[in-house]
Amino acid sequence: MSSPAARERHASNLAQLGVSTPCSSLSIEHTSLVYLPYYAGVLEADGRQRVVAVAGDTGVVSDSVSLVLTANLPQLRAHFASDR
């Protein structure tokens, strides 16, 4: 991360997760696999792609889940490609 915009973006992402910056290290104590009842659609325009996630129980678009899925779109595509 060398540009101020990149540092600001990453600091904002950490702040949303409750991690204050500057941060020199981080330890993950536990992870778990969760299943979320969401519908996800990949939208494409002008050579760009993003994911829109809609909660399966309420029908409400989740901006936070949409952002996470968009940030991880290559892994999302690879997962669904491996299920075929």
| CA distances, 7 to each of 22, 24, 25, 79 (Å) | 10, 13, 15, 29
Q: What is the pLDDT of residues 43-59, one digit of tens each?
A: 999 999 999 999 999 99
CB 51, CB 64: distance < 8 Å: no
Per-residue model confidence (pLDDT) at position 51: 95
Q: What is the pLDDT of residues 4-27, one digit of tens each?
A: 898 888 888 888 888 888 878 878
Q: Whole-structure pTM over 0.75, yes or no?
A: no
